Structure formats: C-alpha cells, structure tokens
Amino acid sequence: MIIGSHVSYGPQGLLDSVKEAISYNANTFMFYTGAPQNTLRKDIDLSLVGAAHELMQNNNIDINNVICHAPYIINLANNTTETKYQFSINFLKEEINRCTKLGIKYLVLHPGSSVGLDPHIALDNIINALNIVLKNDSKVTILLETMAGKGTELGKNLEEIKYLIDHIINKDKIGICLDTCHLNDAGYDMANFDHYLDEFSKLLSLDYIKCLHLNDSKNPINSHKDRHANIGFGTIGFTNLLNIINNPRLKDIPKILETPYIGNTLEDKERLYPPYKYEIAMLRKGEFNPNLMEDIRNEYQTS
Ligand code: FE
Ligand code: FE
Ligand code: ZN
C-alpha cells in the first residue's frame, strides 16, 4: 500500500518534508511549496533537493508517488478581475516550474470557484487557463481534485469533471485526485465506492485517477461542507475508508491523509499533535482503534 500524509515544507524545503514523512512510517507524502493560503514562495536550493531525493531512495519512497498541492488562492474559474485571473495562471506556471525543479510529477489543484459567474462560463475559464498552462514537454501532470461543492466550488460532480477533462487539449498532462471527504459531502455514498468507480468509468477512464485523499468527514453525505475528520471518527467510518484504500482498482495510486491534528484537551489547549503515524499504522493493521485520540495524546506527552 502506498500511503502517506500531508507534511510541511520546512526551512530546508523538500528535505524537511521527507524527514517528516519518514517519522510517520509513510512511503509517500504530499506538500505545499509554502503556506497553502498564500503565494509567498522561496527559491529552491538544488543541493537540498539532491539530499531529499537521496533520503527518499534510502527510505523506500518512490518520488513518482509524491504529490505537490497548489495553494488555495489560485482560482482559474473567475476572470471578472483580469489581473487576478492572470495572476492565477502565472502562479500556476511557476508552481509547475517549482515541481519540475523538485522532480515532482503530480500537482493537485482545486478546479476553482465560479463566485459571481455562470458556472458554465466559469468551467470554460478553467479550461482556457489549463490549456495555456499545460505544455506538451512538461514533466508535470495537474490533478484536478474532486470538490465538496462548498460555496460556488466547481468539480463537485462527475459531470463537471468530465466536462473539464474532455476540453483539455493535452490529455497526457491532466488527471484526477479523489478526496473521500469531498466526495461524501458532494453526495456520493462512500459505503458504495465501487458504484462511484463504475459511474466514473462510464464517463472517463479510471486511468485518470492518480491520487486519493483519504479523509473522514465531519458532516453527513451531501452536506457541501468540506470539514475533514480523523479516520474512523467521522460519518464515512473506518470500514468504508479501509475498503476504499484496499480497492483493487486503486491499488497502485498514492493515498494521502489530510486529517486534522489532535488537540490536547487535557492541559495545554494550544498544543496540536499530528495523527498521521497512528492513522497510517491503524490502516495498515486494518483494525479500528476507538482510543486513537487518547493514545496519540499519551504518546506525545510522554515522548
Ligand atoms: Fe485539496
Ligand atoms: Fe483533499
Ligand atoms: Zn478538503
């Protein structure tokens, strides 16, 4: 199983990300090239990239399974402010260049939000932008993430995803990232994941699916909320999530956890602990641990 989590991109960039992934016993990971909420980005230090690649090789992490996530503020759907639309396109181009320098193959992108626009026009704006950005000679594939449909988010159903893919000229350079929390919140039943894949394969080849974000959801199906819960502590539940990662049709694609950090409810409410090492172990074992939160707090407090 290829499984990892979101990790931070530290002062040493990708090298810090690899170290963090190793500390969770992960064999893949996902990172942002800076803060997810802003577009401040540092230059890439190539000697540190070399060290990061070496550390991956020595720890059984195949760089072809490592994922980069573009920042949230890129919105290719809305062009009502021309400068903002251009900014998003240019930033995405730079993000692709950064991935190339880092040796990363896959860049996850939220398709965008229509805001005040007609959703059909907004979808065409996304297509236009992606066709500008996606070059034949690029080594980077953009993975459009399936969204919860919060606010005016696009990419919330299979029909929108199909429309986007159908109109991308350079189809070798486009793919899909499924997110289980988003799919649940968008109205797809994660207890019947094979049915979702059947519906998907009627519209698009399953080969487009290159990554899976594995998250439980704090909200019921079709709630259009997008709030992630820890594995087995949400409305999707442990068994359904375990079945999804063990689905033979998604066997070779990386599974990435984006579940929330655990708060220390005992004394220091400010401390938050990453759950990934524990959730990965639980998923590999295939057995739900109802005391996971307590175990995490206890282990971090005594270490
Ligand atoms: Fe995302
Ligand atoms: Fe996600
Ligand atoms: Zn989300």
Q: What is the pLDDT of residues 119-168, one digit of tens each?
A: 999 999 999 999 999 987 899 999 999 999 999 999 999 999 999 999 99
pTM of the prediction? 0.96
Near ion ligand 1, which residues have CB within 5 Å? 145
The span from the CA of 232 to the CA of 244, in Å, is 13
Mean pLDDT, the chain, rounded, equals 96
Q: How far is CA 81 from each of CA 37, 57, 128, 164, 203, rounded to the nearest angstrom?
A: 20, 45, 15, 22, 33
Q: What is the pLDDT of residues 190-223, one digit of tens each?
A: 999 999 999 999 999 999 999 999 999 999 999 9
At 88-120, the pLDDT tens digits run 999 999 999 999 999 999 999 999 999 999 999
Which tokens belong to 175?
A: 């793919």
Instruction: Give the distance (Å) from ligand 3 centre to CA of residue 12.
Output: 26
Q: What is the DSSP string of 51-93?
A: HHHHHHHHTT--GGG-EEE--TT--SS--SSHHHHHHHHHHHH
Distance in Å, CA 264 to ligand 1 centroid: 26
Tens digits of per-residue pLDDT, 257-292?
999 999 876 555 668 999 999 999 999 999 999 999
Question: Mean pLDDT across the stretch 48-71?
Answer: 98
Tokens describing residue 92:
């995405």
Q: Check residue 209 and give its pLDDT.
A: 98
Neighbours of 9 (CB within 10 A): 21
The matching CATH number, chosen from 3.20.20.150, 3.30.365.10, 3.20.19.10, 3.40.50.1820, for 3-302 is 3.20.20.150
How remote is the C-alpha of 140 from its chain's centroid?
15
What are the pLDDT digits (tens) for 166-178?
999 999 999 999 9
Buried b (16+ CB within 10 A) or exposed e, 194-224: eebbeebeeebeeebbbbbbbbbbbbebebb
Residue 303 CA, ligand 1 centroid: distance in Å: 31
CA 303 to centroid of ligand 2, rounded, Å: 30
Phi, psi of 141 (to 5 degrees): -105, 130
Q: Give me the pLDDT at residue 36, please.
A: 81
Number of other CB atoms surrounding residue 134 within 10 Å: 20
